[in-house]
Structure 1
Amino acid sequence: MGDGVTDPARPARGADPSVIMPAGVLLDLLGVCAVVLDDRGRIVLWSPQAEDVFGYSAEEALGQYAASLLVSDKDHDLVNGLFAQVMATGTPWAGAFPVVRRDGTRRLVEFRNMRLEDDEGAVYALGMAADQSQLKELEAALALSDQLVSQSPVGLALLDHDLRYVLVNPALERINGRPASDHIGRHPRDLLTSLDVDEIESTLRRVLETGVPVMDRHVVGRTAAAPDEDHAWSVSYYRLEGANGQILGVANSVVDITERHRAAAEAERGRRRLALLAEASTRIGTTLEVEKTAQELADVLVPGLADIAAVDILDAALELRRGEEGEGPRRFRALGFASAYPNQVAAAADRIGSLAAYRAERLITRCATTGRPIMVTHTGPADLAHIARNPEAAQLLAEAGVHSYLAVPLIAHNQVLGVVDLVRARNPVAFDEDDLLLAGELAARTAIAVDNARWHQSVRTAAETLQRSLLPGPLPPLHGLDVACRYQPAQSSSQVGGDWYDVLPLDGGRTALVVGDVMGHGIDAAAAMGRLRTATQAYADLALHPAEILHRLDRTAFDLETHIATCVYAVYDPYRHVCRIANAGHMPPVLIPRGGPPRLVPLPSGAPLGVGGVHYSTTEIALGPGDRLVLYTDGLVETRGDPIDDRLEQLLRLLSEPQGSLDEVCTRLLEGLSGPGVADDVALLIAEVPVTDGTRDAA
């Protein structure tokens, strides 16, 4: 430093730093003072600390006899005798002695006395003194500090500037599973091999350099105290500094919070389980389709419970048959699969929609046979061989890191419908009893949805089969008219049943075109439709006007009591090129004139069939060569969210596009208006008057 004063915290210039170290603080804490007496007992040196101990300044003490200044009269002889002993024999003396301070108070002071001799032979007495009360306090503080460190349940350690341990208390010995002797002089990375020591030492260095403490950092891992079990600790790091500001090192405290961590983890796990159950209640069983329900279950299970999930339904359950008896193979249809990330398991899984006989030793087969869940906490090669469909698939499971497996049966009304199997690969935690309980709850809920869906699909199949059996077969030969027809069942199993179309050749080359819709769905609606269609065919043979046909159909529908229907009945005369139409509450037909824009045919709407006592009227329109007439049921244009006028306008736009064949137009309308997921069935009929050579020339 420029003023010649040496920084006490730094070695002198040119000094060996390995020998000269920064001063400590112990003497400052002790409050030691120095007093030197000549051979007659007079004070010749008085340190600044002496004023704190005895109360006299140097000016007041120097030159005074120590015995007269510092002790009472009755102790003079004792003090002089001790002084003479030290001076005569050179034997040091140590002990506590009462002194009288300048303010008259008496205080017990501990002395260390020894003889000194200078180079001229003069003899002196050096007295090192410290206030006994301060010493007692310091001894108590040191003892207390030692007990606090050694008996603290908190792990404590002190590391030097190089991050080597210099102090470790018993609590940290127990936490790390190593004695203090294994710590001293070593780095954390030498001992804490199962923890993220790079992060630990990086944090220690940052705290040592900046002085900014790091508090309550949570660390999870393993130490030698419990090498097979994860523990959690709250760790704090802080820099230690001496009284004069020198850096002593960095300390850390470690508190075992394993139980709290586990309780918090379990609470979080419970919260996630409740959330998963709540999610399942809204996502599983949204439709009455077995395939969709199976996939919904797989999607809910991943990644909340498993890395990969597959759902297989027994073929017997899909066919509404009781399962096969015995311990042999089972025929499954793979209907659901989900994976949290791309991996080899997808290639090992059975292809969605595939039907296969699973061998008896596969765990999924065993689960379906016994109706009991199977959990393999830690899978080995033999387990993977029983999980996969073949050795190649087992190898893919091993390469994907599958280490834990769980299979849970889908049971409804005491019948096993299928199995959901789960695996964990990237998730390092093995399945446990809580996972089994949650998977069982989700499987039970899904099984009810699957059971409902398979019965509804059975009803749907029966209704659709009846519906199709009641619809016309191949169209008969017609005179002067081309016709294309389509029937599209609703996607929902409960919506099939009431729509129909018919094309009936009549006398005189005429053709009756019929499209109707029985209100209601299911087998009853299909049966009612069949009766109305049969009645329509019978009345058509009577050569009645369309309005009269509808009047008689109204009475027939009225007799059905629980069913009403809408219907449009048209008769085309190829010789007059006219079409006579009557409407019973049905959607208006669309006329597409040759070379002109499509338009809705304005017809009196009439009342639906089955109301009873309703008057219907017949409207006659021209239908010449090249003209087209489109009849359809409301399922083509009605939706829940769109106004009917907008949907009819969309129908006209589609029919305004360049026309193809009748079949192409049918396809365009079904794809453009109803599409996948249609809520109602659709009957569609398009008739066209062909253009002959003669009419082409006339045009």
Structure 2
Amino acid sequence: MGNCCRKASISHGRKVVGRARCVPLLVCAFRGFSAAPRDAAASVGATWGDAPCPVLVVDRHGGLVQLNRAARSLLPDACDGDRLHDIVPVWLSDAHRHIAGGQPDRPRGPVSGAIDGRVFEAHPSPAADGDVVWWLVDDTERRLAEQALRSARERSTVLAEVSSRLLSTLNVPRCMEVVADTAAEYLAEAAVLVAPPQGRRHHLTYARRGGPVTRMTRTVDAHGVPGLSEALQGFPPVPARWINPDDIPDWLVPEGFPGAVGSVIVAPLPGHGVPAGALILLRSGTEKSFSDGEEVFARLFAARAGAALSAARLYTEQAAITATLMQELLPPALGRVHGVEYAAAYRPAKDHERVGGDFYDFHPGADSSQESLVVLGDVAGKGLDAAVLTGKIRNTLHALLPLAADHHRVLSLLNGALLTSHHTRFVTLVLGSVCRRGGRTELRLTGAGHLPPFVVRNNGQVEEVRTHGTLVGALPTVTARTVETTLAPGETCLLYTDGITEARGGPVGDEFFGEHRLRRALGECAGMPAEAVVERVQMLATQWLGTGRHDDMAVLAISAPRTGPLSLVDGTARHPRPRRSR
């Protein structure tokens, strides 16, 4: 192309100022084509005058040389020849003085500041004769966008931290403290959380920035606070600008609040179908009022806080209900009753659960002359579903206590109750009637599809009580066999479920504990009290299992305590044999 391009100078009438920086005019000569040089200055001047950004030409002494149309619109009182420091803010006049004066410590890059409520970035273009062309680029929208982005990021960080802190607890009082404390830290100078009323009393949680969190319960008038009564009912919040801070009652202001209340936000705490309370944010008169954006953010904060509080309350209610129901499912505590020792142990299939399909129960007689009833059973299945049926069985047996002397009738009535139930499970169990007579403990044992009990005699012999019968809850009728036996002082009868004998483990990890190991372990427990026998059996079964999976396991021991010397014949203790069966 050859040497065909050169930058045109800008003519300002009385002199030429610099070279055009934004709109260079390229005067080029192509083959057969050429631009008219005489039109270049006029074109550049017209373009400069119509530039969308304000442009000021200032001489080295701070005098205005010329302004384009956008600059005259921004500075309507400015005229050519005016002093720059008289018409522009000090930040721009200082920047020009340093650049025009050639001070080396002053950076030559753009400077920024506000003019007439908007932010501009001023870009200087120094000329060789000392004049400076200032290009003012409106930076307001970009800065507002950056500020909005920073605010959004900060609020997202706050919400993430709030969510993390709220989810760290399901305790309602602690959750209320976290909400109030976090709101005072990030949203206002103080915060008050008002819980739903209990009558006319409300639980109040106060928090002040940098101060302690306090809780109290007091009688308050929610209608005395604008928007509070509506917020507690779950209605949309009243805009903060509608609330007169002078109407705030004294009970709402935390102790140590700095000065008078200047602005207030009352935000409902939405819950799961039921309002979780209201959050009140307070700022003193020395702080700026809540902006629309802050009010929207307060509602987002309140929504998360309400969800967390609602979840904590729901968990607390469900935990209380579970604990109440669990009391009916947990086995009773056993001990010594009417001269007979009772002990039992239960281990559910899942160690984190407290109930399952195995169960035992005990109903003592009114006095030592009446029989006490013991029950040990195993419902098909495990877990909570099986535990619910065990609860029903125990309640049914409790209702049948007046008939407890007749085991077969009790089993028949229980069988009918289970057959008409919506449960499809069956149960095996052993009924035992225990009575202390003449220094001996008499037992009547009836099994219904359950493993036969063992009797541990004083000489270490282990006898099987051969009682048997059909499952309960599976067939229209129940057949069962009752066996009577007697325990001498120091002897024990053990009832157990198949979770003991079928405990799978051992050296190879896949072998049943088995009846033979149980017999051998019981033979070593001769003369031991009931509690020691139970602990020994449970310990051996647990060791056999190791860390393997297992079924529910239940053990119940009935012992005749040793009260005097044994009666010996030929050096051997007498051991009563099982009596007639029926």
TM-score, normalised with respect to structure 2: 0.48
**Structure of greater relative contact order (alpha carbons < 8 Å, 6+ residues apart):** 2
Of structures 1 and 2, the larger Rg is shown by: 1
Greater helix fraction, Structure 1 or Structure 2: 1
TM-score, normalised with respect to structure 1: 0.42
